[in-house]
Each structure stands twice: as structure tokens, then as C-alpha cells.
Structure 1
Amino acid sequence: MPWVDGVEHRFVEARGIRFHVAGAGEGPPLMFVHGFPQHWYAWRHLVPLLADRYRLVMPDLRGAGWSDAPYRGYGTRDRAADVLALMDALGLDRVGLIGHEWGAWAGFRACLDAPDRFTRFLALNIVHPWPPARHQVGGGLGEGSNGARTRPGGGGWVRADPEHVAVLVRGLSVATAWPCRNCSI
């Protein structure tokens, strides 16, 4: 297992799965949920920056790192349920949540399913799932922000149109797309 100064490791049972959880620090809990194909080590550079102020909780999602890899259960709803079950297993009523890629999608779902469990949420490296209509390009999700991922040849269209990329970057900022009150890390 990769070594990072100040990080301790444990295994927790949740939803019938054995999850590996790396942790460091003291204070209000911040849970970091990695993307694919990563594990807790993706957050290693944040440990020395935040562990003096926060309790960092960095689980390996199912099938990643040192957690069990069951045959099923890799959808967004399952990952969100895993996050909530891990919080229960760790005795965490509320956490600040930071998710990257797959972890960000799971974070959005977990925040929708149990909003009172989260003090704040930061989604990294995803297009916002529900962009405001004024920021959509092409009139709808199929032709707008998700068009680059869902339409055949969409990726080339985005690369060929720098203005489209600029609209997405300007329009889908955290401040405009997911307003949050009292959010600070």
C-alpha cells in the first residue's frame, strides 16, 4: 500500500462490502471520493495541506484500491449509497464532500439523496449535470454541454470550436451552476 506521512489505514464493512479507508488529521470531516481508475492515493498531495485543520476521510470505492470488487454495483446510485453507508459505518453524521470524476457524480447523487448529511460539496473534473438553460449551447442537453460526450463525433466538434469550450468554461463555473451558501474550505 502506498505510504503517505500521517495517513492511517483501516477497513470498514458497509453494504456487505469491505472498504479500505485512508484517513488523516483532526477536525471537521472532509470526505474525498476518487474517480476512475484511481483510489485514495489520488488525494495524497492534499494531506499535508489540510490535515492540520480537517479530518480527511479517503475511501477506496468498490472495485478500486484495496476495497472489495463485487461483480455488480458500479452505477452512480450504488456509489452514492456506498458513500452514505461508509459515513454511517465511520460514525460521520455530516461531512464536507469532495468528489473527482466518478466520485463527483456519486457526490451529486448522495447530496440529492441525503442533503442534510453534507456541509458542502465540491465536484471536480465533470461537466455540471444540470447546466442552467442560459448556458446550454445548441438548445438542450443532447446538443449542449453533454453533446460532446453523447453525439458521435462530438469530441471533434468541441475541439474544432474554441468558442463552445469557452462558453462551457464560463457558464459552468461552480459559482453559477451550483450556488452554495457558507461554502468554504
Structure 2
Amino acid sequence: MKIVDHEGNPVRHGRATVNGVRLHYLTAGSGEPVLLLHGVPKTSYHWRHVIPLLTPQYTVVVPDMRGLGDSEHATSGYDMRNVAEDFAQLMTELGHERFRLVGEDWGAAAAYQLASAYPERVRQLVYQEMILPGFGLEDYSFLTPENVRSYVWLWHINFYSVPEFPEMLINGHEREYFSYFMKHETHDPAAITPDALDEYVRCYSSPGGVRCMCEIYRATLTDGDQNRASAKKKLPMPVLAVGSEHFIGADNERQMREVADDVRAVILPWGHQLAEESPDELAGHYLRFFAGEEPA
């Protein structure tokens, strides 16, 4: 599936070397900039349905996180403060001093660090479907009856943190593994379409793809220390906390109220992959928030 803007024009691909890593990114549309950050195990392709819903009013910048998608498989630098610096420098490189910021999953964790480090640059923050390390993520990974019953037991946080074994076990089985993993986190498994799986498998089965994914999780304890330090000063910009009824839900808002002063929230009746399960509804909430309206 080609990624296009609202007029059917293909998005523009670019590459930039920033903060010691070569990032791949997409751009489309015109107007004030919006930076869209994907999570794991996804790439910029995750935003394909949302992009044309934003481009009538905004310029969207959609990078692949370091080590993921078609960005460089860096050997280090996967803590979220450093990943956030990648994106801050990318926006400077593209001439965008101030911008709106949207992050989902690990992209949300990077977005929080970016907004904390550069509050003067971030007009508004959308924080979507992520528990910050240091603010509950570790608790979700515990083997407890409550976590197992909830179907939101994040066992993979511990699994990926083990050196070398995840790569050995996943390599060669990427399609089976990621197909189950991503569909399990949705409310509508059919939303993870064959074209999306093809793209994610292409990227994560490339040399070093699974290793880079695991390196993100191996920095979780460092991320927790960083987040607790950053939270000593609350975010000043307006924040929209977007949760899903069938995954993280109200915890998404709860933690944002711990780290930001101006928070509004919405919970959508879907699962974790909101940009693929309900792109129209999701983009509608973004646009209303960007316009200064309260959640519907």
C-alpha cells in the first residue's frame, strides 16, 4: 500500500544524519508541522491511514526511530532521552523550530522526553497508549494473576531485556511472532493487514532489526531514571492523553497528570494499535485538540 496525502500524492521520503544516526523519514502536506512518532514493533508505516487525514491542514513529519524501519541500525543510543534528541535535531534540520508532537507506544515515551527537554519547541503533545518506565511500565511486566487475566501482561519487556536470547529465538520466525504479537494487542485483529505485516517483517527481519528492537527495552531502567528526573518539572504545554478501552485505558491519563499541568483525555473503544484500528476517529481527536477544542 502506497502512503499518500489527502490528494493522493505519494509522501516524500528523506534521510538525515542527526545526533550520530542516519534517520529515514516521510513528509507530506502543508501548514504548521506535526511530528508523528511510532512505537514498537512498528515503523513509520503505522501512520499510513492517519497521514492523509492531517495533511489538509498540517505538514506531517514521520520518521522511523533509530534502529527501526529504514533508519540506521545503530549500535547504541536507545534510551529515550537520546532517541528524543534524534527527533529534536531532525526537526531542526528540516527547519521546524516549533511543532506539534504525537507519539504512540515507545514513540510516546520518546515524545515525553522530547517535550521535557524542549518545552519551548512543543506547541502541544499527544501522548498515546504507553506506560512510562518509572511510572508503572515495570509493574505491567510482573507475573501476577491480575496481569495475566487482564491480557495486558507485558511479559515481553523482561524477555527482550535478556541479552542475545530474543534475537536467537525470533530470527527466522518474524512473521509468526509479530503477527501473533500485534494482533493480540488489538481489539480488531483484522486491522493488522497483510501489507502492514509484510512491511514490519521486512524491516525487523533485516540484519540487526530484532537486535535494535531489543535494545530499546534493554534501556528501560535507564529510561525510568530519566523519566523520574524529568518529572520533577511538569510539562507546560497542553497534553492530550489518548488511551484505548481494551488495552492501557485510564492509566494513560493517570500518568500524564503526574508529569504535566494541562491534561485532557479520551479513551477510544479499541485496542492498542489505534492508528490502524480507528484512524478516522483518532485523527478527529487530534484535529480538535490542535484547534483548541475539548475532546468530544
Could you say which TM-score interval applies, normalised by the shorter chain? 0.7 to 0.9
SS of the aligned residue for 1:70 comes to coil
Residue deviations 1:2-57 (CA, integer Å, cap 9, x gap): 62123111111211222111011001110001111221111000122111011000
Distance 1:157 1:116 in 2: 40
**Counterpart code for 1:158:** N
In 2, are the aligned partners of 1:19 and 1:66 still within 8 Å (CA)?
yes
Alignment correspondent of 1:94 = 98
**Counterpart code for 1:157:** E
The change in CA–CA distance for 1:161 and 1:65 in structure 2 (over 3 A counts) is closer
**Counterpart code for 1:4:** I
> How many residues are aligned here?
166
Matched, 1:11 2:3: no
**Counterpart code for 2:93:** A
Taking the TM superposition and a 5 Å limit, the aligned residue runs for 1:11-50 are 11-50=15-54
In 2, are the aligned partners of 1:128 and 1:172 still within 8 Å (CA)?
no
Structure 1, unpaired ranges of 5+: 132-140
Residue deviations 1:79-129 (CA, integer Å, cap 9, x gap): 111111111111110111111111110111111111111001111111256
Distance 1:176 1:86 in 2: 25
In 2, are the aligned partners of 1:120 and 1:180 still within 8 Å (CA)?
no
Alignment correspondent of 1:180 = 262
Alignment correspondent of 1:127 = 131
Alignment correspondent of 1:75 = 79
In 2, are the aligned partners of 1:148 and 1:157 still within 8 Å (CA)?
no
Residue deviations 1:143-169 (CA, integer Å, cap 9, x gap): xx75222x3x13x4234479xx99x74
SS of the aligned residue for 1:11 comes to strand
Higher relative contact order (CA 8 A, sep 6+): 2
Distance 1:92 1:158 in 2: 42
TM-score, reference length from structure 1: 0.77
TM-score, reference length from structure 2: 0.50
Structure 2, unpaired ranges of 5+: 152-244, 265-287, 291-296
Instruction: Say which structure is richer in helix.
Output: 2
Taking the TM superposition and a 5 Å limit, the aligned residue runs for 1:109-148 are 109-127=113-131, 146-148=138-140
Identity %: 28
In 1, are the aligned partners of 2:105 and 2:128 still within 8 Å (CA)?
yes
